[in-house]
A and B are shown apart, each in its own frame.
Chain A
Amino acid sequence: MADELIRFQSVSKYYDDIPVLRHVSFNLKKGEQLAIIGGSGSGKTTILKIILGLIVPEEGEVFLYGKPVRALREDELNRLRSRMGMVFQSGALFDSLTVWDNVAMPLLEEIERVRKITEEDIEEIDARVREMLGLLDLKGVEQMLPSELSGGMMRRVAVARALIKQPELILYDEPTVGLDPITADRVTRYIESLQQRLHVSSIVVTHDLRFAMRVTSRIIMLVKGRVVFDGSKEEFLKSTQDHVVLFREAGL
């Protein structure tokens, strides 16, 4: 239990009385890399938003680091959120800010909450931003605006922003969707190498099975809000369950 980061206990979520998640249960342990796969509208992104406390499920209980999310105050939830990073499907970069500002934002916000930002802080943050951008092969784009970047570069900037605070857990929402195959492959390689280098736990939500197979060790498959498969990559490849077979044949 001590190394358990997330636990979903029979979680259900409805949008306008339409069920999106039905009695979903799973857990994530420290160091684990989990992929949640499924078709569009199967409730994958909803799981990430529930983990982050952005939406609240109608039924069931979610535990973050052993604490029930429902019982947490906003400041307590914020403290737990600061141990996580999230790469949004759209990137969610701020159009009016430069790449540097976007990536540095989580660090700047953290300091600004308690005191004024000093010159030393800026120097330290600058070094970390440049290091993170370097890791993702994004040197020299610090002063560019998101609108001046390609889709793949924007995704990598979003990854850099999610990783800048060195989170214990990183959540990816469809990080390769909408990218051409070559760019998607590059983004996959960066995520793969970051997983190996930084050893962070991760949850990847995707319908790109090839990507899921490369960056994770465990797979959960959702169909219409229900978990139909939860097991290792190897078990997924051997499974004879109808939904898994269909998804595997279409996706690999």
Chain B
Amino acid sequence: MYRFFLLVSDYIRLAALSFRYAFRRPWYGSEIIKEMDKMGTYSLPIAAITGFFTGLVLALQTARSLEAFGIKTYIGQVLAITVVRELGPVIGSLMIAGRVASGIAAEVGAMVVGEQIDALRVMGVNIIKRVVIPRVVAGVVMLPVLIVLVDVTALMGGAVVSTFVLRFPSSFYWSSVLQILTYHDLIMGFTKPVVFGYIIASYSTFAGLRSSGGTEGVGRATTSAVVTSSILIILADFILTKIYFLVLW
């Protein structure tokens, strides 16, 4: 139990320091861009595929349920709300966490094992600024962008089912999607990934920095990064949804 509290307090300390140092020199702009490229560009296929197939399956399942109530025509509305508010941000973030969190933890863990982190500290480099902040900034900026892609491809998947299985005109589907979405839905859908991006990047960097015991330790850090980031995303999603309902509706 003591170790758990120690872990939590260490993580909170790192998260707090990453905020504190984010506004002080040096800013390592090129590192941030490099991390954004790694996190964003290479996650595009996984985001698009996840979104499209989630949309397809969700549309098929929802259509069946709606048909039982004789309200099949609401497919666009139901899909839009579900995807933009919840499924897009959560499923997209979980999938991207699998790729990004493991990559960050393995990379930072290898830097610890390979003594590169020690080398940076010997040079007087602030590890939070050089290693943590570029990854956190990249996560916070790139995850919302990737979630937009997940949402759009998921709605496209829904469009495929709506057009070719349910035989609704495509224009009907898209107009019902656009008609139902409000600013509140968009705020909810696009601010959640900012928090999830922060969680993925900060926790996986933290896990990497804590790795010890050679390659086995790096493996443990990688697993911990993916598992804990995923749990934290689900937990944060519940808390954020509750807050949004209190504040926005």
Contact = CB atoms under 8 A, between A and B. Distances in A.
Interface of A: 49, 52, 54, 78-79, 81-82, 84-86, 88-90, 92-94, 105-106, 109-110, 112-115
B239 interface: no
Given A113-B25, A114-B25, A49 B124 contact: no
B116 A81 contact: no
Contacts of A109: 26, 123-125
Nearest to A102: B119
B37 interface: no
Given A112-B25, A112-B26, A114-B25, A92 B125 contact: no
A4 to B, nearest CB: 21
Contacts of B116: 92-94
B38 to A, nearest CB: 11
B118 A49 contact: yes
Interface string B98-118: 000000000000000011101
Interface in B108-138: 114-116, 118-119, 121-125
Contact of A110 (B114, B115, B121, B124): B124
- Secondary structure at chain B's binding surface: helix, strand, loop or mixed? loop
A78 B116 CA distance: 16
A92 B123 contact: no
B124 A81 contact: yes
Interface of B: 25-26, 114-116, 118-119, 121-125
Contacts of A49: 118
Contact of B124 (A82, A88, A93, A94): A82
Contacts of B26: 109, 112-113
Nearest to B34: A96
Nearest to A89: B115
B122 A52 contact: yes
Contacts of A113: 25-26, 124
Given A113-B25, A114-B25, A86 B125 contact: no
Nearest to B114: A90
B124 A92 contact: no
Most chain A CB atoms below 10 A, which of B114, B122, B124 = B122
16 contacts: A54-B121, A54-B122, A78-B124, A81-B123, A82-B123, A82-B124, A86-B122, A88-B115, A90-B114, A92-B114, A92-B115, A92-B116, A94-B116, A113-B25, A113-B124, A115-B25
Nearest to A114: B25
A101 to B, nearest CB: 11
A78 B120 CA distance: 11
A79 B122 CA distance: 10
